[in-house]
A and B are shown apart, each in its own frame.
Chain A
């Protein structure tokens, strides 16, 4: 909790004969994050390992399998199709079935490509002939003259040609088509006149007989090609039905083969021995060690190395209660935590839904979003989609709870008074009581900001004292405390000067001492001064950032402001739909009134759909922004490397 899973740096050394068994065992456990060998200094005399026997064959087979998978259009959605098959059985099947399957897929795809090319060719030919069909001239009459030139092409409107000629023109709204027969001597003059009128020539097709007949012939041929393509697609579809699970399982099996066979490429080897370095969760080290000793009959050396945090990039695996798992997605969008800093995932997983609820506190919208978070599961496949919807689920539950507290459902009031603060606006004279407690809520939002930012700075103190060294550590910790002193000093000065509801009133603490400041005011001013000095001693440039203390705290006012605007939209929609269309029409029901009621219902549905979408954006984006910009900038470094253990989660196959 609040820290990533503890990792140990392991060194595994053994003789080359053991390498295969060790790799297989590590792969099976899926715990060892391999640190690639890149020719480090301490490994003088070692070189990169060579792939195990069978790597090339497995890679080739894998390429074949993937080609067939593509040809059949098999989707790898990460969901197992029925029972996993055993690896050894699948291997036998691969020997017999793969060549045949490959040939089948190859033949079908080649034939399909040929037919598709043919259909395209035929289509372009009939398109070429199309304009000639409008002219009453057989296609063989356009060719074969010695003294006559033939010009054919598109022309917007018919044109009078002065030179000696015969012509045929067909025109409609979309433009015209002209064929001109002229003695070769006059060709240039005719061409110039045509070009002036906007003529664009086309090639005369190499065909005989009426153009319409040729077009019909080509069209028929094209249709039969397309039908054949359809047939092939159906065949491929059938093959997909039959072979999909085999292909997916074979893909998985061969991928594991290739990954295992190529693992030595990441190891350091000599002629007789190999050394692998990497990471494993500390709690699992005894299990890995025992397993490796078992498969090698004790002829293996596993050693835990000291971690040098300045040079080693320790892989980071989240270590959170299951409740916080969805939030890890939001963390990874920003950056995975560094191994040694406080992992704020747990805090975010609690505070994010609360912020969402404060902004979008409405029972109606909350329940709609809750339903959406379950209904969308079908369409958003994959791990990330699932986590995103889990986040939406948590947020919408919080939204519903806050809706009960605010007494709001689609902008209407629930049968009880708001438990804490009222967000009911006076729109259309519907509201009761004294209107929204905007000012009080804004002050509470500011309080949330003050506390959230203080928490961020305190975490930063912990981080700096953990991760920095020597003089810089002390400087950094003092600077962080300086930021806190500056913020709270400013608050105390304000409290000593202005009485603010829900905040301490320090105006009565002693009389004025200097510059109209009372005792509390002077204390606050001293804190501000100390804060400035503390921040400046670490880095004078940071002083430029001091005003952000004010803007970041005030930024939390959005929790109320965005929420109130969402309530306002809901109430305006209700007022337009009910107050202006439906209610007046219901009082005196006429045919026009029924139309008005329908319009009102449409406005109601559209308005609330829009507001739900805005609610997700407003609630989600603003809540996460408060974390990313206002909270994380105080302490969070990130940049941790993802823990990516050697091995694969098997979905379609079982161990051999």
Chain B
């Protein structure tokens, strides 16, 4: 049995604010980290193919670059979410 009086003394408003801030930071970290992994996985395959294509035909470079950076948007969204969470 938890004594309601002692429970309220254990959990002060400051602690609640602090833990909220902490969870926000964790959320921001997860947003950047997981989207970074996602972007990395997506760019892995595209990047290898792009390098191969460029090695065969130098003119492919521009197009290859575009294909490679398309998944970049995922991590940018993560970064934006993190910034909105933190500030």
Give chain A's interface residues, CB within 8 Å of chain B: 333-335, 435-436, 438-439, 442, 551, 554-555, 557-558, 560-562, 564-565, 621-622, 625, 628-629
Contacts and interface: CB of A to CB of B under 8 A. Distances in A.
B66 A562 contact: no
A167 to B, nearest CB: 55
B66 A557 contact: no
A438 B77 contact: no
A564 B62 contact: no
Nearest to B74: A551
A625 B73 CA distance: 10
Nearest to B70: A629
A564 B85 CA distance: 14
A164 B36 CA distance: 72
B73 A555 contact: yes
A441 B81 CA distance: 14
A621 B76 CA distance: 13
29 contacts: A333-B61, A333-B62, A334-B66, A335-B62, A436-B87, A438-B86, A442-B83, A551-B73, A554-B77, A555-B73, A555-B76, A557-B77, A557-B80, A558-B72, A558-B73, A558-B79, A560-B80, A561-B76, A561-B79, A561-B83, A562-B76, A562-B79, A564-B83, A625-B65, A625-B66, A625-B69, A628-B69, A629-B66, A629-B69
B70 to A, nearest CB: 6
Nearest to B77: A554
A557 B80 CA distance: 7
B84 interface: yes
A142 B79 CA distance: 76
A439 B82 CA distance: 11
Given A333-B61, A334-B62, A335-B62, A625 B72 contact: yes
Contacts of A555: 73, 76
A558 B76 contact: yes
A90 to B, nearest CB: 34
Interface residues of B, number: 17
Nearest to A558: B76
Contact of B65 (A439, A560, A628): A628
A569 to B, nearest CB: 13
Given A565-B79, A628-B66, A442 B84 contact: yes
Interface in B26-42: none
Contacts of A335: 62
Contacts, number: 54
Nearest to B73: A555
Contacts of B63: 334
Interface of B: 61-63, 65-66, 69-70, 72-73, 76-77, 79-80, 83-84, 86-87
A222 to B, nearest CB: 39
Contacts of B69: 621, 625, 628-629
A621 B68 CA distance: 11
Contact of B80 (A333, A442, A551): A442
Contacts of B61: 333
A438 B62 contact: no
Nearest to B68: A625
Contacts of B70: 629
A436 B86 CA distance: 10
A564 B82 CA distance: 11
Nearest to B87: A438
Given A438-B84, A438-B87, A442-B84, A628 B73 contact: no
A116 B80 CA distance: 63
Nearest to A437: B87
Contacts of B87: 435-436, 438-439
Contacts of B83: 438, 442, 560-561, 564
Contacts of B73: 551, 554-555, 558
A561 B76 CA distance: 7
Contacts of B62: 333-335, 628
A565 B61 CA distance: 28
A304 to B, nearest CB: 32
Contacts of A622: 72
B47 to A, nearest CB: 13
Given A442-B83, A561-B83, A625-B69, 6 more contacts: A333-B65, A439-B84, A560-B80, A561-B79, A621-B69, A622-B72
B46 to A, nearest CB: 13
Contacts of B77: 554, 557
Contacts of A564: 83
- Residue from A435, A439, A561 whose CB has the most chain B CB atoms within 10 Å: A561
A558 to B, nearest CB: 4
Nearest to B32: A565
A285 B12 CA distance: 86
Contacts of B84: 438-439, 442
B80 A561 contact: yes
B66 to A, nearest CB: 5
A405 B38 CA distance: 35
- Residue from A436, A442, A558 whose CB has the most chain B CB atoms within 10 Å: A558
B42 to A, nearest CB: 14
Nearest to B85: A438
A333 B58 CA distance: 10
Nearest to B79: A561
B41 to A, nearest CB: 18
